[in-house]
Amino acid sequence: MSSDDEPVKTICPYCGVGCGISVQPGAEPGDMRFMPWGEAPVNEGRVCIKGGAATEVVDHEDRLTDPLIREDGEFREATWEEAYDLVVSEMQRIREEHEPDAMGFFGSSKVMNEENYLLQKLARRYGTNNVDNCTRMCHASTVWALRTSLGAGAMTNSMADLRDEADVLWIQGANPGEQHPIANSQYFRQAVLEGATVIQVDPHANKTTRSFKIDETDRHMHLQLKPGTDIPLLNIVLKTILENGWIDEEFIEQRTEGFDDLTETLEDFDKEAAAEECGVPLSDIEAAAEKYATADNAAIFTGMGMSQHTCGVDNVQNEINLALITGNLGRPGTGVNPLRGQNNVQGTCDVGAMPNVLPGYQLVDDDEARESVEQEWGFEVPPEPGLTNVEISHEAGKSVHGLYVMGENPIMSEPDGNRVEERLQELEFMVVQDIFMTETAKLADVILPATTWAERGGTVTNTDRRVQRMRGVEKVHENTKHDLDIMMEVGSRLFGDEKFRFDDVEEVFEELRQVCPIYHGMTYDLLGEEGLQWPCYEPGDEGDTFLYEDEFDTENGLGQIEGVTHQPPKETPDEEYPLVLTTARLEEHYNTGTMSRRSPTLNRQHPENFVDIHPNDAERYGIEDGEYVKLKSRRGEITLLAQVTEDIKEGVVWTTPHFAAASANRLTNDVLDERAKIPEYKAAAAEVEIGIEP
């Protein structure tokens, strides 16, 4: 391609909003420029700072350009032939010496649907369901609760219908002003300009608070609760609604079950004691309950502040309870809507890169569903769910001896990163497929250099279930390979047949849609430039902008209400660690920072990590704003800058996971929600002391 060529229309590689952008090829392969795509379906040409800077990392000097093999503790350049031989022979050896479940496979929410589809197919052909992706760390509990109680683990509504129809936006544990900037500016702010009210529930005042000027109006509210008290806060809301009769009796009667369980759970519930526990005035919570329950259409947005707890499933179930008893489901402008983090986190789950489900959320232990997929694939799938990614890390060196990592960086992304690093060193073999030398890749036995988002095509699925096509410009480094080509080659060599041979990425999508009922009606032609929202069962279906108009997708068609009670975080403050550490992300960086920390534009905004400390805590510790401090938990310590601010409550400290040298995940707790196996990133006991510049 050359600079005379037309810009290529594709999708931003960062967050789950799924903004369309264009890439203008330059004179040289790596010479790409960002261009707006004015008619892009989601964002109509607008982008945030990350989207505008996305091309900066494509030709970065740190790119991995050749396969690497570890020998005598050092990496040496290798041919692809050598690298493939080693990967395949080690995977075969591990299966022979141990069993198929001795391997784990990590897919990636930064990688496209077709590539994740082939990775999970490879794992299952190998004989294990030990395949997972980083959605485990962000919304596994949300997916669990939504799938169990409503039917599908996804947004019930769409950004567009919420903008046009919602009267109240209830945003709990999410920060769209920072994490989903275009959803916030183009959809939610528009709804507010037209009269919608925002109720934000979050321990941290942030860009969302500021973008709606929440402190300056009576219309909007910020309920600044203590981390880990979302259930008592929502129980106050639910009980207030019950006391005042603000329920939708007809909806409860006709479309739900479990209402009695909720009323029994709340019968002796003490609202005043609960408000004390939350650290929020009872009258404020009651006022918020009235705003939500008496609105014509009220929509809930839920984020990782809800999901990343040991009670994550119950947190989200309580949001579902709220929507169900007020009849705020099954029509535009309502629903329970998870804001998904990465540009393909929804799709990675949709295509089955999870240990308990096959493509389209068909349960692996459902004989009928499994057999129908087996028939298409031509091989048997193990009938028992496998290990999740944190469980795989916990088992490294014990029952798990080999790991295949495609585009993931568990040392940075998983909690208690120091232990993850130690455990991965216990593996007999690890292969990492990535674009940069990540903290995890440094421990690999083989590194396979992959291409970036701008160099290849495929599909991704955004936060409101829209499947969109990405289109590649051209390869920057001759000796790198697309993830899809690597998966096809490894699969073909490992199994010696044609089940991993495809002519191109579209042919992989064609097979995917045969085994994934919610994608069955999609083809590349039908996706076109607009994309399609699932469920899309047959060609010609236009997809659904909102779900559950007539019934829920549960066994009996009814939405499931279930009362839940407070479960404090597993680690609470004590004398040694008297503070609560909570974590979140910044607009200018992206998760483990593998890409964003290499972007000059993004790095200039936030070159290093910092911790928010309340002025009263700072005074007690003698800490000045802008000073280096040591932040410690039972699992490690990091040194970072102190930002003294009233954005955070007294007794709570807040920091980010983006920076390798001072990542919050060196401190976070790896205790899991029992059902969804999501770690409790959002609350750990911590201590702070004056530090010295690292």
Q: At its nearest, how many Å lie between ligand SF4 and the CB of residue 182?
A: 4
Q: At its nearest, how many Å lie between ligand SF4 and the CB of residue 181?
A: 5
Q: Are 32 and 1 in contact (CB under 8 A)?
A: no
Q: Are 370 and 384 in contact (CB under 8 A)?
A: no
Q: How far apart are CA 674 and CA 168, in angstroms?
A: 32
Q: How far apart are CA 378 and CA 657, in angstroms?
A: 42
When the beta carbons of 182 and 236 are compared against ligand SF4, the nearer one is: 182
DSSP structural state of residue 689: E
When the beta carbons of 14 and 502 are compared against ligand SF4, the nearer one is: 14
Q: Give the angle 676-687-636 at the CA atoms, nearest 5°.
A: 60
When the beta carbons of 10 and 317 are compared against ligand SF4, the nearer one is: 10
Q: Helix 140-149 to helix 312-325 angle, to the nearest 10 degrees?
A: 40
Residue 45 exposure: Cα atoms within 13 Å on the Cβ side: 3
Q: At its nearest, how many Å lie between ligand SF4 and the CB of residue 471?
A: 16
Q: At its nearest, how many Å lie between ligand SF4 and the CB of residue 20?
A: 9
When the beta carbons of 586 and 644 are compared against ligand SF4, the nearer one is: 586
When the beta carbons of 48 and 304 are compared against ligand SF4, the nearer one is: 48
When the beta carbons of 47 and 300 are compared against ligand SF4, the nearer one is: 47
Residue 544 exposure: Cα atoms within 13 Å on the Cβ side: 20
When the beta carbons of 281 and 600 are compared against ligand SF4, the nearer one is: 600
Which positions touch ligand SF4 (CB under 6 A)? 12, 14-15, 17-19, 43, 47-48, 50-51, 180-182
When the beta carbons of 48 and 629 are compared against ligand SF4, the nearer one is: 48
Q: At its nearest, how many Å lie between ligand SF4 and the CB of residue 24?
A: 16
Q: How far apart are CA 191 and CA 184, in angstroms?
A: 10
When the beta carbons of 46 and 442 are compared against ligand SF4, the nearer one is: 46
Q: Which amino acid is at 308?
A: Q
Q: How far apart are CA 397 and CA 251, in angstroms?
A: 52
Q: At its nearest, how many Å lie between ligand SF4 and the CB of residue 185?
A: 9
When the beta carbons of 50 and 513 are compared against ligand SF4, the nearer one is: 50
Q: At its nearest, how many Å lie between ligand SF4 and the CB of residue 39?
A: 15
How many CB atoms are closer than 10 A to CB 496?
Answer: 9
3-state secondary structure 396-451: ECCCECEEEEECCCHHHHCCCHHHHHHHHCCCCEEEEEECCCCCCHHHCCEEEEEC
Q: At its nearest, how many Å lie between ligand SF4 and the CB of residue 17?
A: 4
Q: How far apart are CA 597 and CA 521, in angstroms?
A: 39
Q: Give the angle 321-290-270 at the CA atoms, nearest 5°.
A: 65
CB neighbour list of residue 84: distance below 8 Å, 6 or more residues apart: 489, 490, 493
Q: Which of 340, 477, 342, 495 is nearest to 407 (CA)?
A: 342
Q: At its nearest, how many Å lie between ligand SF4 and the CB of residue 46?
A: 8
Q: At its nearest, how many Å lie between ligand SF4 and the CB of residue 346?
A: 13
- Residue number with the smallest Cβ distance to ligand SF4: 51
CB neighbour list of residue 610: distance below 8 Å, 6 or more residues apart: 640, 641, 642, 643, 655, 656
